[in-house]
């Protein structure tokens, strides 16, 4: 018997329908994309993403009514809480399939205020937003260079949750930031030119 595509999930005090990544249809789409040579990082939900989603659920005033961009969105749970409370949501990922599935998950939850942006965030012409949110984007020298390039171009606030993998500590030394929380291996910081 095929499991359901969506399962109920409590994030903070709100219930959402979360897509099952091990559903046969989702697995088939992920495998097809990998065979096309696209690097896939959304075939599992990272622990840091769940920690970020929970924090966002308890701090909706931080982004309520704002224009929010999520970098490396995948099919993340954080898109649900942000999409429900932001005025508009832009979801970015290298993977077209991830964004299609993410849009499907958002629509399943009645969230229709999202626009997909496929490609490398450090190379795209991005919309003007009030807040950028990202989870687990800095884990090697290439991703460090990408986020550094993005931060040089983006004048607004950025919430980034990441594990302390090299070179993330280097990014923290080089950029002004404010610690929002630390939980288990996750460290969440706010980068802002106003700090």
Highest mean pLDDT pick, 87-91, 94-98, 134-138, 181-185: 87-91
- What is d(CA 150, CA 153) in angstroms, rounded to the nearest whole number? 5
CATH architecture, domain 6-191 = 3-Layer(aba) Sandwich (3.40)
pLDDT tens column, 115-134: 999 999 999 998 999 999 99
Examine the pLDDT at 112 and tell me if it is beyond 90: yes
Q: What would the DSSP string read from start to end of 80-95?
A: HHHHHHSSEEEEEES-
Q: What value does the mean pLDDT take over residues 60-79?
A: 95
The pLDDT score that the predictor gives to residue 7 is 96
How much is the pLDDT for 33? 85
Residue 70 three-state SS: strand
Residue 194's pLDDT band (boundaries 50, 70, 90)?
confident
Helix (H, G, I), strand (E, B) or coil at 111: coil
> What DSSP designation does 104 have?
H
Which H or E element spans position 77?
none
Residue 43, pLDDT > 70, answer no
Round to whole Å and give the CA distance between 101 and 26. 8
Instruction: Provide DSSP, 127-191.
Output: PP-SEEEEES--SSHHHHHHHHHHHHH--SEEEEEEES-TTHHHHHHHS-EEEEEEETTEEEEEE
Distance CA 83, CA 93 (A): 16
- Name residues whose C-beta falls within 8 Å of residue 107's C-beta, 6 or more positions apart in sequence: none
Mean pLDDT of the chain: 92
């Amino acid at each position: 018997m095929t499991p359901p595509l969506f399962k109920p999930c409590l994030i903070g005090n709100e219930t959402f329908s979360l897509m099952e990544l091990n559903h046969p249809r989702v697995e088939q789409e992920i495998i097809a994309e990998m065979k096309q040579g696209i690097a896939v990082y959304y075939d599992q939900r990272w622990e840091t993403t769940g920690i970020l989603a929970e924090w966002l659920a308890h701090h909706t005033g931080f982004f309520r009514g704002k224009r929010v961009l999520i970098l490396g969105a995948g099919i993340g749970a954080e898109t649900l809480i942000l999409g429900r409370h932001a005025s508009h949501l832009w979801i970015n990922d290298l993977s077209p399939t991830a964004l299609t599935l993410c849009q499907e998950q958002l629509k399943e939850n009645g969230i229709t205020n999202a626009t997909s942006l496929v490609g490398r965030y450090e190379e795209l012409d991005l919309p003007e937003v009030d807040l950028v949110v990202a989870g687990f984007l800095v884990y090697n020298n290439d991703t460090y260079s990408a986020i550094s390039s993005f931060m040089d171009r983006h004048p607004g606030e950025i919430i980034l949750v990441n594990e302390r993998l090299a070179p993330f500590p280097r990014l923290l030394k080089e950029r002004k930031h404010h610690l929002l929380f630390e939980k288990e291996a996750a460290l969440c910081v706010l980068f802002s030119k106003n700090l």
